[in-house]
Amino acid sequence: DTGVSQDPRHKITKRGQNVTFRCDPISEHNRLYWYRQTLGQGPEFLTYFQNEAQLEKSRLLSDRFSAERPKGSFSTLEIQRTEQGDSAMYLCASSMDSHNSPLHFGNGTRLTVT
Amino acid sequence: AQSVSQHNHHVILSEAASLELGCNYSYGGTVNLFWYVQYPGQHLQLLLKYFSGDPLVKGIKGFEAEFIKSKFSFNLRKPSVQWSDTAEYFCAVNARSSGSARQLTFGSGTQLTVLP
């Protein structure tokens, strides 16, 4: 399978702990996106990379959140000092370098903060 | 900023019934429009997309959608649903402005249940 891969699939953590998620995009895609989805809602945009450059960040992305894509391939999303409100599905997507290129999503990482 | 409204949260149909899921967006500029589907336990998949040209677009699995610019709508249709169409359907818009050209804004989704 050459789709978008996310790890882990599930993460349960205690409030105040730090967590890190990984996303491996489709290999020829140089755009990478992070979205967050809560129950009963559609995905909400968090941030976007073109190669290793983080070009857009949503106001949803508080200073406890940081995303990196150091070599322009895989990306990590770290949440520091997790809060219960951070519980959600974190989705990664990738696309070709074209405005009209559709997004290809991974299966997501489900985070539960207790 | 753009927004997307999906009118129905949950639709229940019998097999062979016709389907129409509503989607309206709010944005004054030029947009790209998408429908994504999420089957149980699977990732979001692109069903169809509209960028320009013929406002009636056809997607996979017999789905189609019509862009009506005057109504800011992009409703999804299928003449005859199957049990395997049971899934959650998301409408999304991508505004072609320089500040937000790369992020999709999704609606809250419509859960479709097709009864055998």
- pLDDT tens-place string over residues B5-25: 998 999 999 999 999 999 999
Q: Is the pLDDT of residue B79 over 60?
A: yes
pLDDT bin (cut points 50, 70, 90) of residue B97 is low
Average pLDDT (B94-104) is 64
Q: List Cα–Cα distances, A22 to A7, A17, A64, B37, B78, in angstroms.
A: 5, 17, 17, 23, 37
Q: Rounded mean pLDDT of B41-62? A: 93
Residue B103 to residue A45, Cβ atoms within 8 A: yes
Q: What's the rounded Cα separation, in Å, for the pair B72 and B62?
A: 23
Question: Which residues partner with A104 through β-bridges?
Answer: A94
Query: What 3-state DSSP class applies to B5?
Result: strand
Residue located via tokens 């419509």: B110
Q: What are phi and psi of B60, to 5 degrees?
A: -80, 160
Contact between B44 and A102 using a beta-carbon 8 Å cutoff: no
Positions of chain A with pLDDT under 50: none
What does the alpha-carbon distance between residue A84 and residue B43 come to, in Å, rounded to a whole number? 24
Residue B98 clears pLDDT 50, i.e. is over it: no
Distances (CA, A) of B53 to B32, B35, B49, B62, B67: 11, 17, 11, 20, 10
Site from A99, A109, A110 to mutate, B interface, most B CB atoms within 10 angstroms = A99
Pair B100, B93: CB distance under 8 Å: no
Round the average pLDDT of chain B to a whole number and report it. 91
Please spell the DSSP secondary structure of B14-82, one letter per residue: ETT--EEE--EEE-SS-EEEEEEEE-TTS--EEEEEE-SS-SEEE-GGG-EEEEEGGGTEEEEEESS--
Question: What is the rounded average pLDDT of the residues B102-111?
Answer: 89
Asked whether the bond before B40 is cis by omega within 30 degrees of 0, the reply is: no
pLDDT number for residue B30 = 84
**Contact status, residue A23 vs residue A106, Cβ threshold 8 Å:** yes
Yes or no, beta carbons of B108 and A41 under 8 Å apart: yes
Neighbouring C-beta atoms of residue B39, cutoff 10 Å: 13
pLDDT at B94 over 90: no
Mean pLDDT of chain A: 93
For B106, the closest of A42, A48, A104 (CB atoms) is A42
Using CB atoms, pick whichever of A4, A41, A103 lies closest to residue B104: A103
**Amino acid letter for position A27:** S
pLDDT score at B20: 97
